[in-house]
Amino acid sequence: MNNFAIRFPLERSSIIEMLQYYNVSPTRQRIEIAEFLFKEPQHLSADKILDGVKAEGKRVSRATVYNTMGLFVEKGMVREVLIDRERVFYDTNTDNHQHVYNVDSGELKDIYDIDINLADNMAIPDSCQVLGADIVIKVCSSPA
């Protein structure tokens, strides 16, 4: 698996180095999106990324953000976390981990202490191997 050592926040020169490491052409807009995204470990929707980049005074279109995030996912720079049809987060942490999603607050958090061995619980053919699993545990407040 490709893994570029990330030490948050990534400076512009590290962003360019990371893009080149993942064979992504370092265009101005990709650099600006990555600069916002890799300030800290975080889970952001494409709209939050768009809003954040624009708030920094940069010009970028919605289509460019969506296309760039699709490319970043394809190259393994970020993980795509699907909550449901309307909610997709991009996770700057590509390590093996799972998530808890709070339905009430919309917050997504990393969890590491779940030990799940899918191969033991599923009828996976011997000729196949589990490459990974994305598990999201959804929680909400209990009714009063």
* Every domain of the chain and the residues it spans: 12-91, 98-139
CB 93 within 8 A of CB 110: yes
- Residue 37: CB atoms within 10 Å: 24
Q: Helices 62-75 and 28-37 meet at what angle, rounded to 10?
A: 70
List the structure tokens of 136: 């999201």
Q: What is the mean pLDDT of residues 129-142?
A: 83
10 pLDDT higher than 90: yes
CB 35 within 8 A of CB 12: yes
- Residue 119: CB atoms within 10 Å: 11
The pLDDT tens digits of the residues spanning 25-49 come to: 999 999 999 999 999 999 999 999 9
**CATH code for the part of the protein at 12-91:** 1.10.10.10
Residues 79 and 65: their CA atoms lie apart, in Å, by 15
The pLDDT tens digits of the residues spanning 69-99 come to: 999 999 999 999 999 999 999 999 998 889 9
Considering the entire predicted model, what is its pTM?
0.87
